[in-house]
Amino acid sequence: MTESIAPITYDRAQISVGIVHFGVGNFHRSHQAMYLDQLLRNPSTFAAAAQWGICGIGVLPSDARMRDALRSQGHEYTLIERHPDGAAPATCVGSIVDFLYAPDEIDAVLERLADPATRIVSLTITEGGYNISDVTGEFDTANPAIVADAQPGAAPATVFGIIVAGLRLRRERGVAPFTIMSCDNIEGNGDVARRSFAAFAGLIDPELASWIESSVSFPNCMVDRITPVTTDADRAWVLERYGVDDAWPVLSEDFVQWVLEDHFPLGRPAFEQVGVQLVGDVRPYELMKLRLLNAGHQALAYSGILSGYEFAHEGASDPVIVGLLRAYMDREATPTLAPVPGVDLDAYKDRLIERFANPYVRDTLARLATDASDRIPKWLVPVIRERRDAGESVPLSASVVAGWVRYAERHATTDDVPFRDRQEAAVLEAVARNADDPVGFLRNPDWFGTLADDADFVADYVAALDAFRRADDPRPEIERLVQG
């Protein structure tokens, strides 16, 4: 007998689009779209929530698959929450009501953005999607895609070109600007988004850029939910267990959190009614999550892969790797954090380890290691810099960097590890520099700033990398590091 799925309990025909979302993937569908679905399910909040339906926008070639999957099932999909005890409650989510694929439907996308009913444009475009240098903090105006989008009369093709074109249409038509809400794992994600969109607008119309800076709201937020990539095995499991042939179901952990700066001039859904924390200052929560969970994921990824594990829960069940995670969190990350209102950091860290070890989520270490060239500079390097500026050593963080490098070396020489990085060419160039220079990999200022010139950091890094190269199993070296 198949298990039941909580059906949609509201009339989707009554829902109109109020949110346009760029980057519809598993995380968005398990997080923001799920929260809106909860509001729609409550009869007391349905009427107000019904004006905030989501229209997804695809920009990348890979987004065509999501378009096809969602359209084939009326934009509904199945969300399954995997609990550590094996429970797996499933829900049919109906808050996404439309999806447009920009390469084929750019005029429809721009009209949707210009529509006065669209009051929020939200983003999950990945940590590297904002075209910002990790060292300078400046928008990369030399990016060929940006150069092409900035040409007079060009049909916009990047997220920057498309959204700025939508804002320009609103301004020309006397429509107030929508709020741009970044939901990516970046420190000060709203501030980063503001700089990126204003910088792009400055390439085509300085007056428009000034208007965006002064008139468009970019709230910061912290988002959290572990959501693995959907596999064919997951699709088969959903069909067998629930009797639903879903083209793209979402499997996530049972934990979810959203801390959101409450600055929405044209209104927003009543997210506080479904557990979202609306605050004046997101930063303490944001740094807690980025430096403990996200950087912790990097520590888990490379130590786990080099130890021969495939899944996050395998590494997070190994006492040696758990020792590294907790020691990094306690000794190097936590001292860089300010007090977080309402949060016991020790309990938070305990919960993180439990979440990582959930055997039913089956998150792969390869997913955690994806795009490390974006993630390590944004999540781990700030911890290193703050600790070094304070005169403190960071041997555990240095070992995480060394783990990334050894992982990249393995990919370059034997190709025996799963590897995906949008800057793969730069990673392979950095690996090649190691042949003649012990710190060649560190000589990428966009990733590491001046750490290659920090003798104490370099000593810890080189020692860890040499140890990882000498042994097939990194755990004895990890254990030595943790014991001090």
Residue 412: half-sphere exposure toward Cβ, Cα within 13 Å:
20
Distance, in Å, from the CA atom of 77 to the CA atom of 91, rounded to the nearest integer, reads: 8
Domain finish residue from 279, 312, 334 = 279
pLDDT of amino acid 393: 97
In a domain, 6, yes or no: no
Domain boundary (214, 245, 279) is at: 279
CATH of the domain at 424: 1.10.1040.10
Question: In terms of domains, do 294 and 186 share one?
Answer: no
pLDDT category at 164 given cuts 50, 70, 90 is very high
* 53 and 166 both lie in a single domain: yes
Residue 2 covered by a domain: no
Query: What residue numbers bound the domain in which 382 lies?
Result: 283-483
What are residue 181's DSSP bridge partners? 122
- pLDDT band (50, 70, 90) for residue 2: confident
Q: How far apart are CA 353 and CA 305, in angstroms?
A: 17
Contact in structure between 465 and 406 (CB atoms under 8 Å): yes
**Summary mean pLDDT of the chain:** 96
Residue 403 burial class via C-beta count within 10 angstroms: exposed 0-12, middle 13-18, buried 19 and up: buried
For the segment 353-368, what is each residue's pLDDT rounded down to a tens digit? 999 999 999 999 999 9
Q: What is the pTM of this model?
A: 0.93
List CB contacts of 1: < 8 A, sequence separation 6 or more.
none
- Pick the range with the lowest mean pLDDT from 134-148, 173-187, 261-275: 134-148
Residues 345 and 266 in one domain: no
Which pLDDT score is estimated for 135?
A: 65
Residues 297 and 332 in one domain: yes
CATH number at residue 101: 3.40.50.720
4 located within any domain: no
User: Please, what is the Cα angle at 466 between 465 and 470, to 5 degrees?
Assistant: 115
pLDDT score at 356: 98
- Quick one: what percent of the chain has pLDDT higher than 70? 99
User: What is the pLDDT, as a whole number, of residue 416?
Assistant: 85
Q: Is residue 454 part of a domain?
A: yes
Is residue 46, in this structure, part of any structural domain at all? yes
Among residues 140, 137, 145, the alpha carbon closest in space to that of 191 is found at 137
Assigned token pair, 456: 């104490």
User: Are 305 and 397 part of one and the same domain?
Assistant: yes
Asked whether residue 451 is assigned to any structural domain, the reply reads yes
Q: What is the pLDDT of residues 281-328, one digit of tens each?
A: 999 999 999 999 999 999 999 999 999 999 999 999 999 999 999 999
- Shared domain for 134 and 159, answered yes or no, is yes
The predicted-structure confidence for 443-460, as pLDDT tens digits, reads as follows 999 999 999 999 999 999
- Dihedral angle sign, alpha carbons of residues 46, 48, 51, 53: negative
In a domain, 320, yes or no: yes
Q: In the prediction, which pLDDT does 484 show?
A: 80
Listed in sequence order, the residues at least 6 apart from 360 whose beta carbon sits closer than 8 Å to its beta carbon are 82, 83, 84, 86, 88
pLDDT in tens, 70-97: 999 999 999 999 999 999 999 999 999 9
End of a domain among 279, 303, 327?
A: 279
Q: Are residues 247 and 371 in the same domain?
A: no
Total domain count, the chain: 2
Is the pLDDT at 32 greater than 90? The verdict is: yes
* In a shared domain, residues 255 and 290: no
Residue 137: is its pLDDT beyond 80?
Answer: no
Residue 312 shares a structural domain with residue 391:
yes
* CA pair distance 197, 131, nearest whole angstrom: 10
Instruction: For residue 401, tell me if it sits in a domain.
Output: yes
pLDDT single digits (tens) 363-414: 999 999 999 999 999 999 999 999 999 999 999 999 999 999 999 999 999 9
Q: How confident is the model at residue 134 (pLDDT cuts 50, 70, 90)?
A: low
**What are 217-247's pLDDT values in tens digits?**
999 999 999 999 999 999 999 999 999 999 9
Q: Say if residue 442 is in the same domain as residue 465.
A: yes
Please tell me whether residues 272 and 301 are part of one structural domain.
no
* Residues 450 and 338 grouped into a single domain: yes
Q: Do 321 and 315 touch, CB atoms closer than 8 A?
A: yes
